[in-house]
Chain A
Amino acid sequence: MFNLIRRDFILQKWQLLLLIFIVLFFVLIDRQHPAFIFLLASVIIPINTLANDEKAETNILLNSLPYTRTEIIASRYLGSIVFIILATGVTSILLYVFNKPFSITDIAISSSLALLLLSFYLPMSYIIKPGYNFPVALISFLILSGIVPPMVSYLSEKFTSFTDFILKLSVPTLYTSALLLGLAFYGTSWCISSLIYRRKAF
């Protein structure tokens, strides 16, 4: 299974290099919040990997090699975590080198959001027809960004007790629970993808 993760590095050696430049660009223009840069860096490679994997040929190849379907999915989920950690590391180094301030909170927010995004995106990519993944992801992202903020502010006004409860939590507790929640979603998503993939025909 380790070999399957290594495969992504071989496949995307140029993209990894490009990633460093993208992060560098955002660090240098200094217009975006560090949490945003962390998030962007974390999800680019896992999403790009899926673009490779949605092809029928890739699935025929992987499934003809001595791997089980459970391993193929596991490598995707573990691989994404590896990429998130790596991207966070690289981004931290670049921010540090160019003397831009960032905090553990930024990393906690970006990592939990990255986990959450991938939790939805990964199983979806195994259902949607090849070739439609990217447009679907883009459209749902736009719709969500239109709907979610007003919905959240509406809910926070309606359920003030819940908002109060959240505001009372200490900052470390809040972000640790966010990260744990992200991981819980990620784990559930992993199980769902495994179930979907096991039944797939190539």
Chain B
Amino acid sequence: MENVVELTNVTKEFKDFSVKNIDLQVKRGFVHGFIGANGAGKSTTIKMMMNLLQPDAGEVKVFGMDYKTHEKAIKERIGFVYDGNVFYEGLHLKDIKRIVAPAYKHWDNALFSQYVEQFELPLNKAIKNFSKGMQMKASLAIALSHHAELIIMDEPTAGLDPIFRRELLGLLQEIMLDGSRTIFFSTHITTDLNRIADYIAFINRGKLVFNNSIHDITENYALVKGRTELLDRDTEKAFVHINRLSTGFEALTENVTAVENTFGDSVVIEQATLEDIMFHMKGGMQHV
């Protein structure tokens, strides 16, 4: 399977935060969700994919090319959406198009007009007077109008109401239909991903915890609930993280068979949601 984006051993250090040894592959033709808590390193990773930040060590390749020699060729094929508005806020959408369109060789005016109509966007209104949802739609219309093969989005659903979020996800599904497109987007709203993502990459405290297909994740992880008396030094080994409550314990495991062998019928094993995994992983790194 061809990789559209490949991060190899990428490290970026800041004064009080770092992203360390990230190995991440984004496969062509799939929707990739990128999850992690606030401040886990999602935006930093995305910025390195876009060459807004250069890694201190490691390699970033997009479409098999590196930014040093092929910056323009790479960006020509990427559509981007950021969580805030990056367009000149005082300008009308019409003027923003006049600025952005000539940058791309494959800009498609007819396609842009089609999206403007579909999203009901006003051309003669300043971007700053758009609602958050409309700004997002405007970014998306621009990102989709130059036949980009890779759409990179940083928190596109943040601050949007549930109805609009669902509309957006439907739209993303629609643009995936032709099979050649790849979407990589970060979010901390995990329910968005259950609907459309094929792969999930999870970053925690600057480290990539996993990058697996949604199918593998639901198979590999499970939530285990039982009485606290069942836990001792040996049985605890089966868990990534344990949350002790007065009513019993709730724990995340990466090894469902081991848990079944150890505890048998004395515990309840449930499918872990992405949110369960995020919650326990974040705690797990601290305590166990």
Contact = CB atoms under 8 A, between A and B. Distances in A.
B104 interface: yes
Given A58-B88, A64-B80, A202 B52 contact: yes
13 contacts: A6-B102, A10-B95, A11-B88, A57-B84, A61-B87, A63-B50, A64-B50, A66-B72, A66-B103, A66-B104, A67-B75, A68-B71, A201-B47
Given A57-B87, A63-B52, A66-B104, 5 more contacts: A61-B86, A64-B78, A65-B100, A66-B73, A201-B53
Contacts of A63: 50-52
Interface in A1-45: 3, 6-7, 10-11
A177 interface: no
A7 B99 contact: yes
Interface in A164-184: none
B215 interface: no
B87 A11 contact: no
A63 B71 CA distance: 10
A57, A61, A64, A199 pick with most chain B CB within 10 angstroms: A64
Contacts of A52: 88
A60 B99 contact: no
A200 to B, nearest CB: 9
B257 interface: no
Contacts of A68: 71-72
B91 interface: yes
Interface of A: 3, 6-7, 10-11, 52, 57-58, 60-61, 63-68, 199, 201-202
Given A11-B88, A57-B84, A67 B52 contact: no
A57 B85 contact: yes
Contacts of A58: 86, 88
A186 to B, nearest CB: 26
A3 B82 CA distance: 23
B108 interface: no
B159 to A, nearest CB: 16
Contacts of B76: 66
Given A11-B88, A57-B85, A58-B88, A64 B52 contact: yes
Interface in B123-151: none
Contacts of A57: 84-87, 89
A64 to B, nearest CB: 5
A67 B76 CA distance: 9
Contacts of B47: 201-202
B98 A10 contact: yes
Q: What are the 7 closest A-B residue pairs judged by CB atoms, nearest first? A: A66-B75, A3-B102, A61-B86, A202-B52, A65-B103, A57-B86, A66-B72
A117 B11 CA distance: 40
Contacts of B87: 57, 61
Contact of B52 (A3, A10, A11, A201): A201
B53 A202 contact: yes
Nearest to B102: A3
A201 B47 CA distance: 9
B88 A60 contact: no
Given A11-B91, A202-B52, A64 B99 contact: no
Given A63-B52, A64-B80, A64-B86, A10 B71 contact: no
